Structure 1
């Protein structure tokens, strides 16, 4: 044993013996002598297990105990009056012999590591005035007889692990001024006996598990200044008397379940209020205009409630520093909603302003530039704001946080935003901002989080962003960014949480500098036009948890260096041109939970272990050359090399006998078939080209689209880009899909769609192959733009208006009719294979058209049922995850919540029939609510809600049937159309078809 360990054992042994001796001595020593105090202190020392600062080393016979560290004695009797050992890193228990210090007035043990229980003998300290045991690890209950310490003025037990109820006897301590029990595990309700503490100035019970309501008798505490009860489970309303305590300076009931509304005269009875917080409760009603009379308030936190109506003028709150009203139901989406905003310019001490997640409409006023320069945080996200970001924002020179995501802001991003050198967070996701990303953002050298996703930014990513060497998150996803990825951007080594460039039009290779992102956990470059091979040094990004590269044109094999990414949980390489064998090392990745390798050119044997043991977590469809794996993957068995050689030899011998005969027969059949096919195509093309010219040249399309300008670009897909154009000769509006011929499957898509639509197959002016498909231009875009307006660029300069119930039913009927035609009325039956909202186009009259037949399958000589069975056995083809309930729930089937076998189909089935309203798009419920006036009879309202719910259940049953995994359980398309017609008849009974114009204003 080491000498140090021996010393510690001796230390513990000595103190154990001292404790035994002390217990024997206490029976012989009178409690009226100061010798009792000495022995009590030694017993206290015996309970200490750790004294790293050696503060108790002076507690020995070399000096009198009144000179011991932390001990103060009275001059007259030389008895201990104060024991103060605050912040000395002491560990151990509080000795019960502390109760023998009968002259003790102050016991201060705050900020140590005392554990065990508070000894009940503490009730013997009748002279005790201050008891501070906070910031320790004390357990057990508060002693019920604590009231015996009748002279207590301060009782602080905060930041411990105390349990049980607050003793009612606490209310019997007549002179108590400070009661702090916050941050424990106390349960039960607030004792009404606290209302007897007429001297109480501070009541701090926050962050426990207290329930029940606030006792009304607390409104009888005339001297109460600080009332903190936040972070409990309190319910009911705030007693009126509590909000009339004129002595109150700080009032915090945040993070509870308190209901009710704020009194109209709230600030008339609170002239000294400095802090008012009802954060995270269930308050309703308006923000009272009388709030402006709280002229001393510095912190006003009303966030996360259900407050509604207008925000009153706050011009008199000259001391206000923090004003948070986020996550309420304030204002009405009207232009005048921000009328109160300019009143904030009088608040010269304002530091934080957050109005996010409400219904504020209108344009941000220019007076934002007149807000106090002390402002460091401004939040207005999740509202209905539109218009441009005022350039005057550059005056907020101390701004650190700017959050305006989830609005309808448009125009360009002001370049002078780069003058706000203190910005650390900029969040502008999901707006309608356009133009280029200003290079001046590179001046924001303190920037750590930059969110610009879900907008319409164009051109290249400015390389100047590489100057932001503290960036932790960079999100530029879902824009129209083009060009290559600058190596400088990949050199921002501080990127650790997220680097998202997905859903853009970026080209070129992934820079080798990607290997510098050693601390990055999520990299998403999916759905661009990137190509080349995966750089070997991507394996240097050893912290990666999620890597998404799907929907590009990457090729080659998966490099061996990826083996270094042992912490990865999600790997998506789908929809590329990768080839070779799937690396065996992937099955050894310990954390890999989701692997998507679908739609590539992988070959060879599928691994069996690790993630490959779970077919629900691994997608490999669209790789025709794979074999083996679990039966759930439905791949052919792998053939060994020797058996394969024998089979090839046998086949060659057999082929030599019959090949000549087969060639002759095949030649005759081919000639006959081509003749028949040419006749069919001519009939189809001639019937579908009544409006457009059957032969459209490259030059004609070049003129129609203004040289395929980016200003006419209306969409980018996996196989091509779509431009809006106008034919010069007849002024007909068209949509031109230009195929990316380098992409795998593009030529096949062209051939399939050529059999239905007008095309251009030519060469461009540089001699390159050019293939395009010409459609009628659809004025109202795609169904996806209406269901998920933040997911796609808007139509024109305005965001799409949400579809009402009638429109959605009509669109569903249009789609069902189109599919019925394709399946049963075409000369050659067609299976679409890629039906999803982005491929449902809406004309000027909101009539739905099914488009994009790039994955369509023609049934040449086969019945619909036969081919459907074949496709079912091959696995899913085309759209992943789409199901008809999307139209009425408003949820994307590929949302993050739908994972691990939990799909939109399952989500709807679990809700039917009782919870149909709960899963419905909130807009449809608003539409229904607006249908009833304030004087509508209740029975009339209930009857129509019942019909509305019945319609929803019918719709969801149709959608669930159509998306059933078992083919035989799906409803026929004719049955779908019939059922939808019945729903439309019920809608007419409700009168919702008359609501089209009304719902546009909701």
Structure 2
């Protein structure tokens, strides 16, 4: 394969050489075209539609192949019989890693080349025929940078390289293409700034740079391209503001899309001068201020997208005068005021209306019904009040989504529900969501007469009474019903079993009675079932075992009988299964061990008997096991010690007996333990969770003794502790021997460490002391400290997040810090955050990084945000000094042998501290040069404790270690000698 690829590459290079080009342009030009096309075909590895089957007829000296598929030849002059266009778009052609289009450089009269929609490998070909006027290589698999040589194709009018995998910066040489009318680089991985040289393209009508990683501001020169009609730079990392006179310099602009960037400032009123504009999309930025009333001058506008910004004030009345408007999207801002009474009457073409997540108030104007083409009305999370207009369904026949959640809308009498009757006229209706309002009165039966295309029905958190109509089974396409937190009564309709597309059924928090219909097992795609907090009676249907449930909540009802084993055999149960506060009887079936993916199990407050099944230990993912308030008896099974993920265990108020098992004190992740009011006896352990009186409870067990002093239990008798004394005596001997050995080791190391003392003390005093003044640091604080997490402040990227340099205020002084922002979309990032906090909050050592504070909050987009703030160590990490700095900065950045030995000692000191940390040793699990940071005096500090673990000192069983977390942590893949630092100090520093 390598030999074959080499031959193809050499052939391609030979074909692209000046000598070949010269020959092909001579008297044998048509033969040269033939050879170039045949060379291209030879590099195609897959032709799924046989498009090139007609190629290759005749010999190598035959005339130009003007009849081949996709080939066009000239008909007059010098171009007569010469290939002038090659159009092979959308044929699924595939090539090897070689850039197949490069072989076409011999087509010296080629003006148009369109190979879009194929699977051609390699990078952007260079050279290409200088006669090209149209080049389209979009939707391929091209990699690498955009060749600057493309800037020499002076005849090029259209360049399309979008939807590939191109990297690097946009070459400024593209500004030389003065004939260019369209430049398409959409959806690649391009970075860097937009070259200001693109402003030289005075003939440009379309600039498409969206879907990349471009930074900086949009060059002012681009806004001087008066011929520009379409400007699309969406989804990048662009910053800065829009120039105030933007609209005055782009008179022909029809499409302007800069959404999903980081632009700030106000929306320029001059945009109102773009009278040809049809689409204006500024969404998902940091724009502030008011919406300019001048936008009402855009009489050709069909789409206005301003959502996800920080806009304030009211919606200008002039916006509702744009009769051409089809989409108005103003969601997620800080807009206030009311909607104009005649809003809908002036928008006859409106199909989508989105003003959700603002602070609008007042009534929903009935004039909205005059927007007869409206399909989506999205107004949730505002303060709209009054009744819902009953004309919605009468006039809006195309309506398919009505979303009014989170307002103050009312319905008190039957007439107020008239809108529901009218919605039965909307044959395309799919979504009706009225949650979290003040809707009261009786649920109208017309809800069952809505369109059979209905997919989502949500009326939760209202005050609706009455019964769920039996006819609801007519809505055969429903996949979600949310009616919880109302005052509904009656039974669960058996017709629900007809909804074979239903995946979410949430009826909790009502006053439903009767039995759970056994036919509910017919819902073969049901994943969420919430029936808690009702008055349901009878048994739990065993037919539930046929539903692929992920979450099951039956708590706080009056259910009787045993827990069916079929329910415990639902392998998809993964979130939680709750049965608490019912009247369930019988034993907990051993089939509970099949819930291997379950995180939470709650059977508390029932009448369950028998022993806790040993199989419960097979639920390896279980984090919360709540079994209090039953009549379980016997001992706590040893198998529960296998629940490595367990965070909370509540076995209180049962009839359990025997000794408290030691393994409960060995469970490192256990945070809450309640075994009170049972019949336990004997000694209370003194390790692990039993050292924290606030984390466990053993009260109400009269036979217990010993334990920590806070328990105030009587001491255990000598007879009961003989074996413990023997073990203690043996432990004392072991500790004595270990102490003596450690003393000798420390004596030998003392001479080496003494000369470091002054330097270390100096380093400690050089670092600013922050202590607790940032104890409640917010997301806004960190955003300001890092200049909105600007790329220029990025100092490192790890497996679980990025580290930024920032400046914070401490006692009226600026303090430089390092902010580690967790990427919570990355699996394991949350656990890494917890591990690092748990480790560093209780450790104190001069050679460990110092944690200043943490932030667990919500970011500006409403998503979870977690970050850790450390001291900033200016000399970077050891890996940079050993390798990168040597290559980048030469010999002046070397560290000498003495410094290397010093750093080794610093790391050894930190590890010795961690491995002998009391009460529980700590293993770093990912020690390597890049995780060793250096301060001003080149003192080493061990950092990145995202994979660290507390290790019980009795865990010496090799099988436990080899099968546990120890074999799965640390840097994945090959790590070269000189970059490996293990927790046993078998590491090597490069000295040369």
Q: TM-score, normalised by structure 1?
A: 0.58
Q: Which residue of 1 is the match for residue 324 of structure 2?
A: 247
Matches within 5 A, 1:407-418: 407-418=486-497
Q: Secondary structure at the match of 1:421?
A: coil
For 1:672, the equivalent position in structure 2 comes to: none
Which residue number corresponds to residue 94 of structure 1?
Answer: 170
Show the counterpart of 1:58. Answer: 102
Q: Counterparts of 1:597 and 1:526 in 2: how far apart (Å)?
A: 13
**1:714-863 residue pairs with structure 2 within 5 A?**
none
C-alpha distance in 2, partners of 1:239/1:54?
Answer: 56
Residues in 2 aligned to 1:633 and 1:556: alpha-carbon distance in whole angstroms: 24
Structure 1 runs not aligned, ≥5 long: 19-50, 648-899, 901-1002
Distance of 2:321 and 2:427 partners within structure 1 = 28
- 2 CA distance for matches of 1:508 and 1:75? 78
Asked if 1:163 corresponds to 2:205, the answer is no
> Are 1:634 and 2:712 an aligned pair?
yes
Q: Number of matched residues?
A: 606
- Which digits, 9 at most, give the CA deviation of each residue in 1:307-336, with x for residues without a partner? 111111111100000001111111154454
State the match for 1:951 in structure 2: none
Instruction: Give the match for residue 110 of structure 1.
Output: 186
The CA distance in 2 between the partners of 1:362 and 1:476, in whole Å, is: 27
Distance 1:645 1:192, change over 3 A: closer
User: Against the structure 1 CA distance between its residues 75 and 473, is the aligned structure 2 distance closer, same or farther, given a 3 Å change threshold?
Assistant: closer
* CA deviation after TM superposition for structure 1 residue 61, in Å: 5.1
Between 1:564-573 and 1:248-257, the stretch displaced more is 564-573
Q: Which residue of 1 aligns with 2:457?
A: 378
Is residue 245–residue 268 contact of structure 2 (8 Å, CA) maintained in 1? no
Equivalent in the alignment of 2:615: 537
CA shift digits 1:921-944 (9 cap, x unpaired): xxxxxxxxxxxxxxxxxxxxxxxx
- 1:440-589 matches, within 5 Å, as 440-468=519-547, 470-589=548-667
Out of 390, 396, 408, the position equivalent to 1:329 is 408
In structure 2, distance between residues paired with 1:53 and 1:368? 59
2:230 pairs, out of 125, 129, 154, with 154
Do 1:356 and 1:382's aligned partners in 2 also have CA atoms closer than 8 Å? yes
Closer/same/farther in 2, CA of residues 239 and 488 from structure 1, 3 Å limit: same
What is the rounded CA distance, in whole Å, between the counterparts of 2:197 and 2:705 in structure 1? 77
Q: Which residue number in structure 2 is paired with residue 601 of structure 1?
A: 679
CA contact (8 A) 1:542 1:566 kept: yes
- The verdict on how the C-alpha distance between 1:142 and 1:630 changes in structure 2, with shifts beyond 3 A counting, is farther
- What is the deviation of 1:622? 2.2
Cα pair 1:142 1:167 within 8 Å, conserved: no
Deviations 1:766-796 (A, max 9, x none): xxxxxxxxxxxxxxxxxxxxxxxxxxxxxxx
1:398 matched to which residue of 2?
477
Q: CA deviation at 1:176?
A: 1.0
The residue aligned with 1:74 is: 133
Q: 1:63 to 1:237 in 2, by over 3 A?
A: same
Match of 1:228 among 305, 323, 332: 305
Instruction: Report deviation, 1:62.
Output: 4.9
The match for 1:927 is none
The residue number in structure 2 matching 1:291 is: 368
Correspondence for 1:129 among 200, 205, 210: 205
State the TM-score, normalized to the length of structure 2.
0.58
Matched, 1:439 2:518: yes
Equivalents in 2 of 1:240, 1:157: separation in Å? 29
Distance 1:628 1:117 in 2: 69
**Cα distance in 1 between the residues matched to 2:291 and 2:674:** 54
Contact 2:508 2:531 in 1 (8 A): yes
Q: Which residue is equivalent to 1:279? A: 356
In structure 2, the partner of 1:138 is: 214
Shift in CA distance, 476/75, structure 1 to aligned 2, threshold 3 Å = closer
Match of 1:930 in 2: none
d(CA) in 2 for partners of 1:430, 1:239: 42
**1:280-309 deviation per Cα after TM superposition (whole angstroms, max 9, x unaligned):** 111111111111111100000111111111
Q: Cα distance, 1:104 vs. partner?
A: 1.3
Q: Per the alignment, do residues 487 and 195 of structure 1 end up closer, same or farther by CA in structure 2, a change over 3 Å counting?
A: same
1:197–1:239 CA distance, 2 compared to 1 (3 A) = same
Alpha-carbon RMSD across the aligned residues, in angstroms, is 3.0
CA distance, structure 2, for counterparts of residue 226 and residue 54 of structure 1: 43
Contact 2:447 2:472 in 1 (8 A): yes
Q: Is the 8 A contact 1:436 1:460 kept in 2?
A: yes
1:539 positional shift: 1.3
- Cα gap change, 1:564/1:62 in structure 2, threshold over 3 Å: closer, same or farther? farther
The answer to whether the 8 Å contact 1:336/1:361 transfers is: no
State the shift of 1:580 in Å: 2.3
What is the 5 A alignment of 1:985-996?
A: none
- The verdict on how the C-alpha distance between 1:145 and 1:597 changes in structure 2, with shifts beyond 3 A counting, is farther
Paired residue for 1:188, among 246, 265, 268? 265
Report what 1:759 is aligned to.
none
3-state secondary structure, aligned to 2:289: coil
Give the equivalent residue in structure 1 for 2:285.
208
